[in-house]
Structure 1
């Protein structure tokens, strides 16, 4: 640990929660240098939906590397890129009756959001973007302006503008449709809000606290956008690629976003990769108008294609994820019913769920206790009050049940009236 303390920046965060040196990972497990095994319920913050070093994706990647396939190609045409585009179009877009142009941005989610916001402004001629309370879209300046969290916003060093902030679904309480407020201020010439270029949202807010937009709210939001001529941008970077049970998180609502951003698990293997999907009429970029040196990660094209081929050629995987999500929901309902003296609540959708623990102190104790038992799990929310379950979608039912058991035991011990219970040995032993 010495070298990390000596020269790595203080900006590190996850390393503080999991103070050991990891050196191997497979499927839903990680190992540290001492050989201790941990069940991974963080999954690269949603980057590893298909687990660590997935065998179905690894073989072609290794073959491609050994045959000296293109690794870096800027935005030049390569066979790997063409194969990905064909597979994505035939197995993801066409079966869902979706017609989009695909833009390869810099390999991070925040760069995809930057491109989407820039495109919306250029196409409409308007400057401002409507975003929502508790939204998280990245930490580069444009995306950061759309992010609600003050911890991240305060680090900007400059004023953040170009945004109209609106209340997300449920922000003002149950039974209040906040799209009506948006419609009202857009209809009122004296509301102080100029005609925006677009609305940007996550259907499930991850970092903001696992807040779920209802199907009805999403449908109403789309109607407001169409009524006022606003583009609808869905940030599907964390909620997409099957996390909610369908490839795109918004599929069950039937809405048709104008622009979609994706990153994290789109590569399938944890490799850096991001895309912007836009309706054809919106593809008004001039050549090179939004570029980047690393917008052609061909290794990611290889694994992204294989992930779609293996997991999304039919409905089997999607149905498995939905079934696991129902199991998790049932268990969380049971857990919150037993502990927290009625203050805990469960929230989320599919395999994107969590427990609201009232405050960050309790949530931190639970995740620390879980780590002592051999599980990596983190918090989210404005005050880090949500214990967020984010295991690989490919996790076995047996290990999913073990993870829930560890979480249950950790919550029970933290909430025990008998005070601190000594931390026992790791739950998983090789």
Structure 2
């Protein structure tokens, strides 16, 4: 008997696989915010490749440019040699993104993934300052290689390193303990007191909105105060915008509303536009102290991704595009607030901002059940947080209103079904 795709994957792929377990079907086609499986069933994608597909699947203009480039025998692989695709991307990124925001950065291509950009940022911070320690925050997620894991909070992921993770100190994120406790007063006290056991670090690394950690959004005044602390103590500020950047929180960079200019910025995921692997490390010019080849990698120059990333920046040439993201973000917020009010049984709390929002439920297992029911209704949605307590909405930032509304309808149906099952379980226990 011929095996189907899921059976082949179950037999031959490592047990480390995860998303195929949450979304058990074989996908064959995707366009915009929709995906289709091998049975022709249509799904709405509120997952967006965990933030790697901010412009949706197979965006037509990017696809056209990429196909033309390939058919014209454009360079595919060139390490960090010069290519026309790289030069065009750098020029457009500078003109469309950096200059209008009064940002001055050297652009480093550290390798193709988010953890590559974080590793390069940590290495550079230590090189420039001559210090070894890095301060990170509770519930932060920065990648799966050793350096990135050392500044990641999740205990399960950290344990995968198999060795002790050193030279980092974890401090409480905004509102980690309570709304009343100023976590930065706590942090600064450690820096001030030479008996605290915490030395002045090379850098502080943070996500302004923690994706995997539970869609925790730091207040802008908190972010600004972190920046002030860094400047006061001569500490470099690294913003990890791998997931929260490229429009996901309403502005191109997630830190823009806080009015800061980080020393180093980490970008990956959607910077490639089309879902192709690409990562950037943005470095304040005075910190660009690398020796040639001191940090390298075989795939640090993905020309196909340069082509689609350049085309993706065309969206940002039109100021109405950013405004449309913010308008639709408000629609998402209003929907989630309505769900929390309408269905108090889920004991929900609003999380995140922009197109990076969700509901955290105090009912154990509830958010996982909502995500499961959503998939049963052909909506792809993920959970987040240390206990999967948040079901999160990650639709493409260019989704139309009809797509949003259809997704909302399916989410509400899933919430109602999850509540129904929760009540049935209670009745069963009671009897």
Return the TM-score normalized by structure 2. 0.96
Give the match for residue 291 of structure 1: 296
Give the match for residue 134 of structure 1: 139
Give the match for residue 3 of structure 2: none
The separation in 1 between residues aligned to 2:421 and 2:302, in whole angstroms, is: 53
| Equivalent of residue 164 in structure 1, options 152, 169, 174 | 169
Q: CA deviation at 1:114?
A: 0.2
Give the match for residue 315 of structure 1: 319
The separation in 1 between residues aligned to 2:138 and 2:185, in whole angstroms, is: 16
The separation in 2 between residues aligned to 1:314 and 1:113, in whole angstroms, is: 30
1:387 counterpart SS class? strand
Give the match for residue 326 of structure 1: 330
Give the match for residue 21 of structure 2: 16
The separation in 2 between residues aligned to 1:344 and 1:90, in whole angstroms, is: 42
The separation in 2 between residues aligned to 1:314 and 1:80, in whole angstroms, is: 22
The separation in 1 between residues aligned to 2:329 and 2:422, in whole angstroms, is: 33
| Equivalent of residue 55 in structure 1, options 60, 65, 71 | 60
The separation in 1 between residues aligned to 2:14 and 2:83, in whole angstroms, is: 37
Contact 2:346-2:361 within 8 A present in 1 as well: no
Contact 1:340-1:415 within 8 A present in 2 as well: no
The separation in 1 between residues aligned to 2:208 and 2:87, in whole angstroms, is: 30
| Equivalent of residue 110 in structure 1, options 101, 109, 115 | 115
Give the match for residue 204 of structure 1: 209
User: After superposition, where does 1:271-282 map in structure 2 within 5 Å?
Assistant: 271-282=276-287
Query: Which string of whole-angstrom CA distances, capped at 9 and with x for unpartnered residues, describes residues 5-49 of structure 1?
Result: 111000000000011100100000111000001000100000000
Give the match for residue 6 of structure 1: 11
| Equivalent of residue 388 in structure 2, options 384, 389, 392 | 384
The separation in 1 between residues aligned to 2:85 and 2:62, in whole angstroms, is: 14
Give the match for residue 344 of structure 1: 348
Corresponding pairs, count:
420
Contact 1:359-1:383 within 8 A present in 2 as well: no
Contact 1:74-1:296 within 8 A present in 2 as well: yes
The separation in 1 between residues aligned to 2:28 and 2:364, in whole angstroms, is: 29
Report the more deviating stretch, 71-80 or 407-416: 407-416
The separation in 1 between residues aligned to 2:213 and 2:165, in whole angstroms, is: 19
Gaps of 5+ in 1: 422-430
The separation in 1 between residues aligned to 2:422 and 2:309, in whole angstroms, is: 50
Query: Which string of whole-angstrom CA distances, capped at 9 and with x for unpartnered residues, describes residues 319-360 of structure 1?
Result: 111011000100100101121436211111011100101255
Q: CA deviation at 1:405?
A: 1.0
Task: Kindly report structure 1 stretches of 4+ aligned residues shifted beyond 4 Å.
Answer: 417-421
**1:188 correspondence with 2:223:** no
| Equivalent of residue 85 in structure 2, options 75, 80, 86 | 80
Contact 1:363-1:385 within 8 A present in 2 as well: yes
Query: Which string of whole-angstrom CA distances, capped at 9 and with x for unpartnered residues, describes residues 342-383 of structure 1?
Result: 621111101110010125511111111111111000100010
Return the TM-score normalized by structure 1. 0.96
Q: CA deviation at 1:417?
A: 6.9
1:276 counterpart SS class? strand
User: After superposition, where does 1:332-371 map in structure 2 within 5 Å?
Assistant: 332-341=336-345, 343-359=347-363, 361-371=365-375
Contact 1:80-1:298 within 8 A present in 2 as well: yes
The separation in 2 between residues aligned to 1:17 and 1:342, in whole angstroms, is: 21
